[in-house]
Amino acid sequence: MKRIVVISDTQMPYEDKRAMRNVINFIGEYQPDEVIQIGDLVDYPAPSRWTAGTREEFAGGVIRDSEYGRRVFLAPLRAVYDGPVKILKGNHDERPEKYLEKHAPALAADDVHYRFESLLDFDGFGVELAAPYYNFAPGWVAIHGHESPGLNQVAGRTAAMKAKKAGVSLVMGHTHRLAISPESTGFGGRLKTIYGFEVGHLMDVRKAGYLKNGPANWQKGFGLFYVGKYNATPHAIPVEHDGSFVVEGERFGEIKRGTNGKFTRAA
């Protein structure tokens, strides 16, 4: 069976650095058949409504954060994995383009340099920009989650709602929640089940200033799919607070005993 890894909402430079390294190292060791990043790869805090009218809005952060994304995510990923990589645009990834469209519409149509795929040099890294509702497995599509309205505070239910509307199983990010939620229809023992899958996030929640240190129903994690000829089986992979996780009985990022006899946390 094919194996596909799906990650979302790294929101660099606010990523959980340890979790990110562990996931990239895992991909290098696991060598899946495809890696899909389904949006909000980069946060682009400026320009956004959080920095509007402040000095940060004019600090040149777009170029800086794009270079960071290439150096911290794409380059390390490509150093250990040369298989297919698809990336979808999230609402944060679109911020530079949307800002240009709003404040300089005469330039927006022609300035390809500020398109997400150009800022991250997709061509140079051999990465493909995927359109929303990317059909990556039999009966499954991938979106970021901001493409259509509607959010549910219960983990998994936003994806289930969007899957029901689309009539097909659906994996998404955007909510920062981690859950698989099924929806079945039919009668007389003849049921059709579709799934909504929210794959969590890989962000350092302490850096999410807009939460103002308040609570958030967020779960760190990513998705793993086993894909056969006619269907696919989703698995939610929770990432612990220390950045470690378990796949197929093996822990990645586990504590190991060092040469001095002390336990040290693996990156």
Q: What is the pLDDT of residues 83-110, one digit of tens each?
A: 999 999 999 999 888 877 776 665 555 5
Decide: 247 and 224 in contact? Cβ < 8 Å: yes
Confidence of residue 212 (pLDDT cuts 50, 70, 90): confident
Average pLDDT value for residue range 149-161: 95
CATH number of 2-252: 3.60.21
100 three-class SS? helix
∠ CA 196-197-199, nearest 5°, is 160
Q: Where are the domains of the chain?
A: 2-252
Q: Judging by beta carbons within 10 Å of its beta carbon (0-12, 13-18, 19+), is residue 91 exposed, middle or buried? A: middle
Listed in sequence order, the residues at least 6 apart from 30 whose beta carbon sits closer than 8 Å to its beta carbon are 3, 5, 247
3-state DSSP assignment of residue 208: coil
pTM metric for this prediction: 0.89
Q: What are phi and psi of 93, to 5 degrees?
A: -60, -30
Residue-wise pLDDT for 19-78, tens only, equals 999 999 999 999 999 999 999 999 998 665 555 555 565 555 888 999 999 999 999 999
